Amino acid sequence: MAIQAGLEAPAAVKLPSGNVKHYGAVTPMKVLLAEDEKSIALTLGDELEAAGHEVTHKPEGLSALDAALNGDFDVVISDIRMPNLDGEQLLARIKEVKPELPVVLMTGFGTMESVIKAMRLGAYDYLQKPFDTREAVLILERLNREIELKRRCAQLQEQLADKYRFENIIGSSPKMQSVYQLIRAAAGNDFPVLITGETGTGKELVAQAIHVNSNRRKGDLVKVSCHNFPETLLEAELFGHEKGAFTDAKDQKIGRFERAHRGTIFIDDIDDMPAGAQAKILNVLAERKLERLGGTKTIQVDIRVITATKVDLQKLVREGKFRDDLFYRLNVVPIDLPPLRDREGDLPFLIKEFIKKYAGGRQYSIAPATMAELEHYTWPGNVRELEGAVQRAIALSGESGELKREHLVRVTANTPKEALVRSDRRPLKDVLFEAEKAHILAVLKICNNKKGEAAELLGISRKNLWEKLKSYGVDAGEEAER
């Protein structure tokens, strides 16, 4: 700090500390110091530089404002009393343009009124004169830690968003393309989502993708499965309870709805939810408020609700096993996940991604005959079963770089026969009928619908062709021969 001290009674006091500075390793910060008293600027500036920071000094408010708005600073330390523009005005102007830039104010008025006003305006912290200059260093150390924590949180958030970005829900089949469109639409609004799909189709992954890509991503995604709890425990999990609400309620418990405040709650296996809990959830969705079990206080909750079911929920409604009013509240944005057996062409891409995920950089291959068999297997456990199969095959591969069929598909006495072959299960005569029809119509098209030419190419009589077309329901009228 190239400043000449001109006052004898500095308001910033630099206490003796010998020849050794006791500050640990810090991330250097660019500090804008706005102070018109040279002695304070000198002592405080020296202390900050000794702690490893880079200090730029401005002696009055307008030049400090210009530097703050046009420069690249990590923090501003400003006196409240300054020429041209005081510290409170400087703070207000900075917050208008750079709301994320921290400002620490120095005040010498000896009252808390100016401090309270400064904090309301958005000051990060304050220093009340006279102060030990090392207090400022400690404030910057705390600010440093908070900035690093925010950076790490942002990094984790980015990694989480990358992990659950839409493209990571793998699949190019037409049915999955429709699912992608629905997920994108659901992430862009706050409406309830009902995800339907067999076990293992990826319902939780879809819920995570919707949450992480929504405007509630900074809040928590709180998960609960109705399948895992009996009725009384499920209500305690969802709504929480007060101490003494029931025999085992030894302490107060915050429920999952409360934990999801300003975030998203994902209720899996909603089809297993008991009737009593259904009624209470309906009230939460309608009123956005709840009471803990054994409590009397009404608690407001701001939540987005995503539910999932492994069965046709509307069928349960028709059977009287699920409330119709709750179904209509949950089924605002329905997303139906297709089973793996109906996702034509997706299997090789999924296998490739799972190998990449679990192979630890090692290369593995699958023989064409094995891949063909995998594509004809029905995968009753869906994507979850496939993922486990790839993990198992890698674990058992030994030194081989090939994943074996017997490791990928485990056929046991309990494996359903219908799971082994994903083929056309119609009677043979029906398959032959459709194949013959398709072939005859294709030949007719080649022959420009000339029945005589078509019959000759097919090696059958014209009468025989006429009879077959009639059985197909096709107009068998003869075309004039050329």
The predicted structure's pLDDT at residue 437: 87
Q: What pLDDT digit, counting tens, does each position of 98-141 carry? A: 999 999 998 875 556 777 777 888 899 888 888 888 888 999 99
Confidence class for position 411, pLDDT limits 50, 70, 90: low
HSE at residue 413, side-chain half, CA atoms within 13 A, is: 0
pLDDT of residue 479: 43
Q: Which long-range contacts (CB under 8 A, 24 or more apart) does 228-237 make?
A: 231/274, 231/276, 231/277, 234/273, 234/274, 234/277, 235/276, 235/277, 235/280, 235/293, 236/293
Determine the pLDDT at residue 165. 54
Q: Are strands 333-336 and 253-254 parallel, antiparallel or unpaired?
A: unpaired
Cα 382 to chain centroid, rounded: 22
**Residue burial 310-338, b: 16+ Cβ < 10 Å; e: rest:** beebeebbeeeebbeebbebbbebebebb
Write out the residue limits of the CATH 3.40.50.300 domain(s) in the chain: 166-338
From the list 149, 137, 153, the residue with the least C-alpha distance to 26 is: 137
Highest mean pLDDT among 147-161, 415-429, 460-474: 460-474
Give the Cα separation of 234 and 260 in Å (integer): 16
Per-residue model confidence (pLDDT) at position 413: 53
Superfamily name with CATH number, domain 166-338: P-loop containing nucleotide triphosphate hydrolases (3.40.50.300)
pLDDT in tens, 164-204: 555 557 777 888 888 988 998 999 999 999 999 999 999 99
**What are the tens digits of pLDDT across the range 300-338?**
999 999 999 999 999 999 999 999 999 999 999 999 999
Consecutive H or E run containing 146:
helix 133-163
- pLDDT, one tens digit per residue, over 211-225 is 988 999 889 999 999
What kind of fold does domain 428-472 have according to CATH?
Arc Repressor Mutant, subunit A (1.10.10)
Given a cut of 90, is residue 430 above it in pLDDT? no
Q: Where in the chain is the domain with CATH 1.10.10?
A: 428-472
Given a contact cutoff of 8 angstroms between Cβ atoms, the answer to whether 402 and 355 are in contact is no
In the chain, which segments carry CATH 1.10.8.60?
341-419
Are β-strands 299-300 and 125-128 bridged in parallel, bridged antiparallel, or unpaired?
unpaired
DSSP string, 322-388: S-HHHHHHHTTEEEEPPPGGGSTTTHHHHHHHHHHHHSTT---B--HHHHHHHHHS--TTHHHHHHH
Closest CA to 235 of 224, 251, 250: 224
pLDDT digits (tens, 9 = 90+) for 58-100: 999 899 999 999 999 999 999 888 888 988 889 999 998 999 9
| pTM for the predicted model, two decimal places | 0.58
Look up the CATH architecture of domain 341-419. Answer: Orthogonal Bundle (1.10)
Q: Per the structure block, which two tokens stand in for 72?
A: 């690249």
What value does the mean pLDDT take over residues 377-406? Answer: 92
Return the CATH number of the domain spanning residue range 12-148.
3.40.50.2300
